[in-house]
Chains A and B, each alone.
Chain A
Amino acid sequence: MSTTDERPLASADEPESPTNRPRSMHLVKQWLQRPYVRRLLWITVAITAVIIALSFVMVGFMNMSGGPGSAIMNEIEKTMFVLTFTCAPLMAGTLAVLTYSWWGGWGSVASGDEPTSDGPAIQTNGVAVVTWITVCSVLAAFLVVWGLVELATITSDSYGSVPANQQPNSAKPVVVNVTGQQWLWSFDYPDSGNIKSAQLVLPINVPAYFNVTSLDVVHSFWVVEEGVKIDANPGAITNTGFTPTKLGTFNVRCAELCGLHHAYMETKLTVVTQEQFTSWIREQGGTTTS
């Protein structure tokens, strides 16, 4: 509109009492008073609530097999919540417009009829476009920043690519050489007399550090409830690690198609106390320093 922006806007029938609010506020207020806008907002709020409830269900499914077993898995689940909460209002708004149009909130033409009149000729709307782009960009930027910080956190939790002997942690880590081959995992404890095991056994609250490789094709070392995964590549060593914080038995699976019996390439992780771990090492014929 080409009028001066400061001028208070009068209603069509009776003059509004003079205020100092800028004209744009009036336009927003007017817009919010349109009946369909009200309904859309309520639908958006309802769908947002459903999505937020669903995020708890999702994390519940992730914990069904006994997790979270480490700080890394806790971070992952926290990130799930943050991502869902960030996206929920935008998703809900989209679905609200969708369902409102689908239910015929703005009217509809039955499939047997032909449309007789055109809709409003809205070519574009600068305010809507700028608002949408701004909101989406800010949310995406927030997701990026959150993701970068979380990635740095879990990388340091999993000891990233820093060799075990240069780790800052005071606790001496348990080093395990993980070898994938068609179709089994084997675990080698070099600090404990090179004992070999088909099952992974780790002491609780002690950092565990893995050198992962493969003898034949690409596998992926996935300790499900600990939230740790890294490919086992032939001809290269990859590193990961975590500190188990929960006693119990967890799943180790192969997450990369590796041939005929890929489905059966799984084993167990047993997290035990330090004393049990020491005695397990001795049973296997290894040497312990503690």
Chain B
Amino acid sequence: MSTAVAIHEQAHVPQPKQISNPGGFLRRTNFLTALVSGVVTAAIFWFATDKITSAVTGPGATNNMSLPSGLNISITMMYIGWVLGFMAGIGAFAGPIRWFLGHDLTHADAEYMAGKDMGREKFWKFTTDHKVVGIQYLVVTLILFGFGGLLAMLIRTELGATWTEVFNPNFYNSIIGTHGIVMIIAMIIVISGPIGNFIVPIMCGARDMAFPRLNALSIWLLIAAIPPLVSNLLMGGIRDGWTVYQPLADQAPIGMIGYQVCIITFAFSTGIASVNLITTIVRMRAAGMTWSRTPILVYGILGSAIMGLVWFPMYQYSQILALSDRTLLTSFFVPASGGSVWLYENLFWLLGHPEVYVIVIPATAGVLEYLPVFVRKPLFSYKLAVAGIFGVVGLSAVVWVHHMYMTGWAPQSNYPFMMSTEMISIPFSFLVLVMLGTMWRGMPWKRLPMMAVYAVVWNKVIGGITGVYLSDTPVDQYMHGSMFVVAHFHYMLMGAGLFGAMGVISYFFPKMIGRYLDEFWGSVGFWTAFAGFQVTFMSMFVAGLQGMPRRVLQFDSLFNISNWISTIGAYVIGIGMLIFLYAIVDSWRNGIIAPDNPWGGKTLENFTSTPVPHENFPVLPVVTSGPYDFGTPDPYELADDAIMRKTEGAEKVSARS
């Protein structure tokens, strides 16, 4: 794709003075100091707030839902203390404080922070190198999927045991909510985190992200946000589903604060990461990489980052207001005091629906990115793919009310929102045509990533048609809130999103880790999970059609058979995912060493060595051709030409690409 030439020499700029060893304070911080600092600060915040609130309000004060308000405030401050202490302990504030004191970072400091010549300890530190951050994201994602998957197994165990309550209702409702939000967070970051941070700058031909320190900040904010969420299970749970509708969430025990602090922190992390990705993509593409030579994955990540940046604040805002209702006794969402439950639902779904596209668009774009490599054909109608991505990004802003058809908020708005929801299928159909057109007459190379393409299209077709039913208000009047919805969004998020992510990760694994993902065990795991997935969610469609509401732990005996089948399928998914995880862990250590260009691709990451060196490229590349210039002249078109020549009697050969 490119020829590398030196384009400019560094001009001399005055450097700040080195005042200590390179790195300074950051030499002493790592994950362990962050943990200690987080726990200590949380404890200090808790004790201090507890003393103050009991002195101010007295022991008997209660909040809207008759919970002791002092406790809510001190738990909130404890979680905030955890986040602040953790970030201080990892060294996130070192840079701003040094800037405030007038000691700017030197080049040696920056190189230390980027983990130059550092061993494995750089993965445990506030490291700014985008490749380190990418690996950190990958590991965090895998841990989140493991935890969320475990909860899914518990949910299916409860639903499969139709004759008894395995868990008490509080714990069951809590694992439903925790499974939901853990998986949502994991799915949001699974492509944009590991691939977006590791691969996208290389694909753009940059040495790092635009804001390396913000990059480190985004991953460590994410890591800080997880413990409050997980700890909710020890503090009474978030028994209200991942949507935590008000005012139900106000009744929940103090575990709900963990959820709210997690979301508020995670939204900061997402916003920072989005700004970073957008700036990198817009400003730091290599010389010659015009918008029509930019790989489609980069477009997908760009679209996803834009949606995340615009819509995540809505969700964050809803949780801030809810937290304020709980601790400061405001009544934004408390109907008894004049609040509105519909306000919460609107704020929530303003992110809640675009978030689906935040997940699906990068997965789809990732699949489109490597599909041409595996059929050795150009991406079919590249510009249609770009139009599809931005069509979805644009329309995603105006569809959220389809989650609220049955709320009674504004029945008349069901008409325009049904229209916009059905219209969003048109840009999506562009992406489907691009996939089909690229497959068309190609000889697929049957490696695991290619197999994932088939799985994704299959799931997307089923998720798409069931989405058509749900987008239609009259049918949704039956389906809304039933297991049909659950099966539908699992087909989109897991079927198209997660299986797509598995394909994308197995494609970029050799470039990121330096070793191929084990083809045999990877495929066994992938197909086992795929088969289990079909069984689980096909029979969940049946339960939904029969009229089974979602988020229940006991139900009519009519739904028994489909739930038994679903549970068996879920265990098969669990086994398949464990095999896939084994393949990842094993290949990480013992896989086949990958060459510089693992798959024969033509994007920029294939033009640097594997493993990718510090600062990515010895010399910054210059792009002179498109990313998907595969292919030989089309035999059918050549035949057409031959016919034309015979007809016309002309001798000249028309040039075709």
Residue B472 lies at the interface, judged by CB distance under 8 Å to chain A: yes
B473's partner among A3, A122, A147 (CB-CB below 8 A) is A147
Is the Cβ of A147 less than 8 Å from the Cβ of B545? no
Residues of chain A lying within 8 A (CB to CB) of residue B608: none
Residues of chain B lying within 8 A (CB to CB) of residue A257: 173, 240-241, 243, 245, 248, 550-551
Is the Cβ of B377 less than 8 Å from the Cβ of A12? no
Known: A102-B454, A122-B437, A236-B408. A147 touches B239 (CB 8 A): no
Residue A189 lies at the interface, judged by CB distance under 8 Å to chain B: no
Is the Cβ of B406 less than 8 Å from the Cβ of A230? yes
Residues of chain B lying within 8 A (CB to CB) of residue A41: none
Q: Is the interface on chain A under 10, 10 to 19, 20 to 34, or 35 or more residues? A: 35 or more
- Give the interface of B toward A (CB within 8 A): 169-170, 173, 239-241, 243, 245, 247-248, 251, 335-336, 340-342, 374-378, 380-384, 406-408, 411, 414-415, 418-419, 422-423, 425-426, 429-430, 432-433, 436-437, 439-448, 454, 457-458, 461, 464-465, 468-469, 471-475, 477-478, 480-482, 519, 523, 542, 545-547, 549-556, 558, 600, 630-637, 639-640, 642-644, 646-648, 654, 657
The residue of chain B having its C-beta at the shortest distance from the C-beta of A98 within the complex is: B457
> Which 10 A/B pairs are nearest by Cβ-Cβ distance?
A121-B631, A235-B335, A238-B408, A255-B481, A263-B552, A119-B377, A61-B545, A124-B381, A120-B634, A217-B248
Is the Cβ of B631 less than 8 Å from the Cβ of A147? no
CB proximity to B under 8 Å, residues A97-155? 97-98, 101-102, 104, 106-111, 113-115, 117-125, 128-129, 132-133, 136-137, 140, 143-144, 147-148, 150-151, 153-155
CB distance from A193 to the nearest CB of B (A): 28
A-B contact pairs, 30 of them (CB 8 A): A3-B647, A7-B647, A12-B642, A83-B469, A97-B439, A98-B461, A101-B442, A108-B444, A109-B445, A117-B632, A122-B380, A124-B382, A129-B384, A129-B433, A140-B426, A143-B468, A151-B415, A154-B477, A217-B245, A229-B478, A229-B480, A231-B406, A234-B341, A236-B341, A255-B549, A255-B550, A257-B248, A259-B240, A260-B169, A260-B239
Residue among A224, A230, A235 with the highest chain B CB neighbour number at 10 A: A235
Residue A261 lies at the interface, judged by CB distance under 8 Å to chain B: yes
Given contacts A10-B646, A76-B474, A229-B478, 9 further A-B contacts (CB under 8 A): A61-B545, A124-B380, A136-B425, A147-B474, A151-B414, A222-B481, A256-B245, A257-B243, A263-B549
Known: A120-B633, A121-B377, A228-B477. A62 touches B440 (CB 8 A): no
CB proximity to B under 8 Å, residues A164-222? 212, 216-218, 220, 222
Residues of chain A lying within 8 A (CB to CB) of residue B442: 101, 106, 119-120
Is the Cβ of A95 less than 8 Å from the Cβ of B461? yes
Separation of A65 and B335 alpha carbons in the complex (Å): 36
Known: A65-B546, A136-B426, A144-B419. A128 touches B433 (CB 8 A): yes
Residue A9 lies at the interface, judged by CB distance under 8 Å to chain B: yes
The residue of chain B having its C-beta at the shortest distance from the C-beta of A10 within the complex is: B647
A262's partner among B474, B551, B654 (CB-CB below 8 A) is B551
CB distance from B444 to the nearest CB of A (A): 5
Known: A84-B465, A119-B377, A121-B378. A143 touches B422 (CB 8 A): yes
Residue A227 lies at the interface, judged by CB distance under 8 Å to chain B: yes
CB distance from B322 to the nearest CB of A (A): 13
Separation of A257 and B464 alpha carbons in the complex (Å): 25
Residue A17 lies at the interface, judged by CB distance under 8 Å to chain B: no
Residue A251 lies at the interface, judged by CB distance under 8 Å to chain B: yes
Is the Cβ of B472 less than 8 Å from the Cβ of A83? yes
Residues of chain A lying within 8 A (CB to CB) of residue B414: 151
Is the Cβ of B445 less than 8 Å from the Cβ of A83? no
Separation of A57 and B377 alpha carbons in the complex (Å): 40
Residues of chain B lying within 8 A (CB to CB) of residue A115: 374, 376, 443, 445, 600
Residues of chain A lying within 8 A (CB to CB) of residue B441: 36, 106, 119-120, 122
The residue of chain A having its C-beta at the shortest distance from the C-beta of B406 within the complex is: A229
CB distance from A153 to the nearest CB of B (A): 8
Separation of A203 and B377 alpha carbons in the complex (Å): 66
Separation of A87 and B395 alpha carbons in the complex (Å): 21
B474's partner among A128, A151, A230, A235 (CB-CB below 8 A) is A151
Separation of A140 and B221 alpha carbons in the complex (Å): 42
Residue A1 lies at the interface, judged by CB distance under 8 Å to chain B: yes
Known: A101-B444, A217-B245, A255-B482. A91 touches B477 (CB 8 A): no
Is the Cβ of B415 less than 8 Å from the Cβ of A148? yes
Cβ contacts A225-266/B at 8 Å (1 or 0 each)? 101111101111011000000000001011111111111100
CB distance from B473 to the nearest CB of A (A): 5
CB distance from A201 to the nearest CB of B (A): 20
Is the Cβ of A161 less than 8 Å from the Cβ of B415? no
Cβ contacts A1-36/B at 8 Å (1 or 0 each)? 111000101111000000000000000000000101
The residue of chain A having its C-beta at the shortest distance from the C-beta of B415 within the complex is: A148
CB distance from B231 to the nearest CB of A (A): 21
Separation of A226 and B644 alpha carbons in the complex (Å): 64
Cβ contacts A43-80/B at 8 Å (1 or 0 each)? 00000000000000010011011000000110110011
Separation of A147 and B417 alpha carbons in the complex (Å): 11
A120's partner among B447, B464, B551, B635 (CB-CB below 8 A) is B635
Is the Cβ of B632 less than 8 Å from the Cβ of A121? yes
Known: A65-B546, A132-B433. A229 touches B631 (CB 8 A): no
Separation of A255 and B342 alpha carbons in the complex (Å): 17
Residues of chain B lying within 8 A (CB to CB) of residue A217: 245, 247-248, 251
The residue of chain A having its C-beta at the shortest distance from the C-beta of B638 within the complex is: A120
Is the Cβ of A9 less than 8 Å from the Cβ of B647? yes
Is the Cβ of B248 less than 8 Å from the Cβ of A259? yes
Is the Cβ of B411 less than 8 Å from the Cβ of A91? no
Separation of A161 and B422 alpha carbons in the complex (Å): 24
Is the Cβ of A76 less than 8 Å from the Cβ of B422? no
Separation of A251 and B433 alpha carbons in the complex (Å): 43
The residue of chain B having its C-beta at the shortest distance from the C-beta of A135 within the complex is: B429
B553's partner among A2, A259, A263 (CB-CB below 8 A) is A263
Is the Cβ of A121 less than 8 Å from the Cβ of B415? no
Separation of A52 and B447 alpha carbons in the complex (Å): 33
Separation of A80 and B545 alpha carbons in the complex (Å): 11
Residues of chain B lying within 8 A (CB to CB) of residue A263: 169, 549, 552-555
Is the Cβ of A148 less than 8 Å from the Cβ of B419? yes
Residues of chain B lying within 8 A (CB to CB) of residue A234: 247, 335-336, 341
Known: A136-B425, A263-B555. A154 touches B631 (CB 8 A): no
The residue of chain A having its C-beta at the shortest distance from the C-beta of B645 within the complex is: A12
Is the Cβ of B480 less than 8 Å from the Cβ of A255? yes
Separation of A118 and B375 alpha carbons in the complex (Å): 8
CB distance from A19 to the nearest CB of B (A): 15
